[in-house]
Amino acid sequence: MLGTLGIWTFAFDQQPASAVRDAAAELEELGYGALWFGEGFGRDSVSQAWLTLGATRRMTVAAGIANIAFRDPISMAAAERSLNEAFPGRYLLGLGGHRVSDTPIPMDGYEIPSRGKAVRTMTAYLDAMDAVPLNSPAPADPPRRVLAALGPKMLALAAERTLGAHPYFVPVEHTRTAREVMRPGALLAVEQAVVLDSDVSRARETATAHVGFYAEQAPHQMANLRRLGFDEADLSGPSRRLVDSIVAYGDAGAIEKRVREHLDAGADHVCLQVLTADPATPPLREWRELAGLLG
């Protein structure tokens, strides 16, 4: 369905549609099994999916994730059905987002309102999606969904109600524990941040900036790291230990080693988020060079 290796990116948000189409088509030709994209205040997840599915023929296009704070379950269910009907077997809906927290979370200076406990909120959202009486043409196959899951309760919900989980910003140890929590056969599709740069000091600076951003902006991910044994000194630094656990950096060999560690720990699929000094520009050179991993 997804293959072993995919690409995860936010870089399409500030690119014109023509550039997004060209990049998606090239990723397919390079042999990646899936293209994942996030959702913030750029192009909305449904539009991005239509754009990239229309530019490709075989590759899975995955929302990683569609933010449940941004649309009603009725709208999400209708869009999911339409995408699956138009592009059979190629759309994977990942659900998650900043609404699943106990307190409001600022995102790019905009405060996303809270809707309560994460698992309860997501369960209610899934229930509402499943209850929508849709009258549009039905796809040949049932919808394919995953959840952005970190803690054991959300991982269990992902395994029970969807194909599986899409953990983001996690070390290999999380992959190992997630596989233990989830039922046999549940999909575990892990995001892995990477910096492809032979100048290790420069690569580490890019990696540290990435981890530092999430340390300031993502309390749910920091809570997950605490569960895994990282302390306040690791999070506030961020420490070298934390940076090295979250980001694989250096040459292609170092990145391939990390991918294999996730697979050995129980991941079914690893999607690479390539970090560069210019996050708004698709890292085409790096995507091309990394396409040969595991091959």
pLDDT tens string 202-243: 999 999 999 999 998 888 899 999 999 999 999 999 999 999
Q: Does the pLDDT value for residue 102 go beyond 90?
A: no
Contact call for residues 132 and 221 (beta carbons, < 8 A): no
Residue 94 in domain: yes
Model confidence pLDDT, tens digit, residues 139-163:
888 899 999 999 999 999 999 999 9
With 80 as the cut, is the pLDDT of residue 112 above it? no
Structural domain that includes position 79: 5-193+251-290
Q: Whole-angstrom Cα distance, residue 104 to residue 222?
A: 16
The confidence score (pLDDT) of residue 184 equals 87
- Assign 113 a pLDDT band (cuts: 50, 70, 90): low
Across the range 157-170, mean pLDDT stands at: 98
What's the total number of domains in the chain? 1
Among the ranges given (23-32, 64-73, 255-264), the one the predictor scored with the smallest mean pLDDT: 64-73
Mean pLDDT of 55-70: 96
The answer to whether position 68 is within a domain reads: yes
Identify the pLDDT of residue 219: 85
pLDDT value at position 42? 85
Q: How far is CA 118 from the centre of its chain?
A: 17
Mean pLDDT score, 41-52: 95
Q: Could you tell me if residue 245 is inside a domain? A: no
**Residue 88 included in any domain:** yes
Pick the closest to residue 170 from 162, 160, 179 (CA basis). Answer: 179
User: What is the value of pTM for the model shown?
Assistant: 0.95
Higher pLDDT, 42 or 283: 283
- How far lies 267's CA from each of 70, 89, 167, 172, 263, in Å? 29, 21, 10, 9, 5
Q: What percent of the chain has pLDDT over 90?
A: 84
Q: Is 44 among the domain residues? A: yes
pLDDT at 105: 63
Nearest C-alpha neighbor of 75 from the set 148, 132, 142, 114: 132
Task: Check pLDDT > 70 for residue 116.
Answer: yes
The region of weakest confidence among 25-34, 162-171, 194-203, 212-221 is 212-221
In this predicted structure, which of 18-22, 67-71, 205-209, 257-261 has the lowest mean pLDDT? 67-71
Helix axes 152-161, 172-181, angle to 10 degrees: 50
pLDDT the model gives residue 114: 66
Question: Does 219 reside within a domain?
Answer: no
Could you tell me if residue 239 is inside a domain? no
Confidence of residue 294 (pLDDT cuts 50, 70, 90): confident
The predicted pLDDT at position 41 comes to 81
Q: What is the CATH number of the domain that holds 75?
A: 3.20.20.30
pLDDT (mean) for 73-82 = 96
The model's confidence at residue 108, banded by pLDDT at 50, 70 and 90, is low
Q: Where are the beta strands (DSSP E) in 68-221?
A: 91-96, 105-107, 110-112, 145-147, 164-165, 187-196
User: Residue 109 domain-assigned?
Assistant: yes
CA nearest to 187, candidates 36, 57, 22, 25: 36
Which of 93 and 141 is assigned the larger pLDDT?
A: 93
Q: Is the pLDDT of residue 101 over 60?
A: no
